[in-house]
Amino acid sequence: MPKKTKKVTYYEGIGRRKESVARVRLYIVAGKDKTVTVGSQKIKVGSLYVNKNPIEKLFGASHEKSQYLALLKLTGSEDRFAISILARGGGRTGQLEAIIHGLAHALDKVDTDAYHSLIKKEGYFTRDPRVRQRRHVGTGGKARRAKQSPKR
């Protein structure tokens, strides 16, 4: 007999920046306890988890917090969803900006008519195309360093 699975509905968005990719899922929570179980983890409404850790653990600085909360405040979605994020690649800055980019795309799927123009006007849909420049042959391991000249 097939195992019954609980249908969990969510909106998903993918964000990218530098070498980072973030998959953002906004879970719709129904029930009295206001939590959703993702894998083996319970996520409350209004909380964000990145790679199974609270977002404050990875991005606890005040300027980082204001960056990712600005988009939720813009759309009025601070206490509407339980948010699970999987961020891979790159460093802290790249991952944070990939999370914000993915959050914008996920919120757009929630209510395109209401949110799309707001999010687009603030510039959250624009992917920043700047990436690390590859190293070039003969430059001593750096991309823009001058070529080595032979002494003899």
Q: How far apart are the first and last CA of the chain?
A: 80
> What are the start-end ranges of the E strands in the chain?
10-17, 20-27, 35-38, 41-44, 48-50, 53-54, 82-88
**What pLDDT, in 10s, does the model give residues 48-71?**
999 999 999 999 999 999 999 999
**What pLDDT, in 10s, does the model give residues 83-141?**
999 999 999 999 999 999 999 999 999 989 999 999 999 999 999 999 999 998 888 88
Task: Map out the domains of the chain with their CATH numbers.
Answer: 10-122 (3.30.230.10)
Contacts of 45 (CB under 8 A, 6+ apart): 29, 34, 35, 79, 80, 81, 82
108 close to 121: Cβ distance less than 8 angstroms: no
Quick one: tokens of 15? Answer: 């964000």
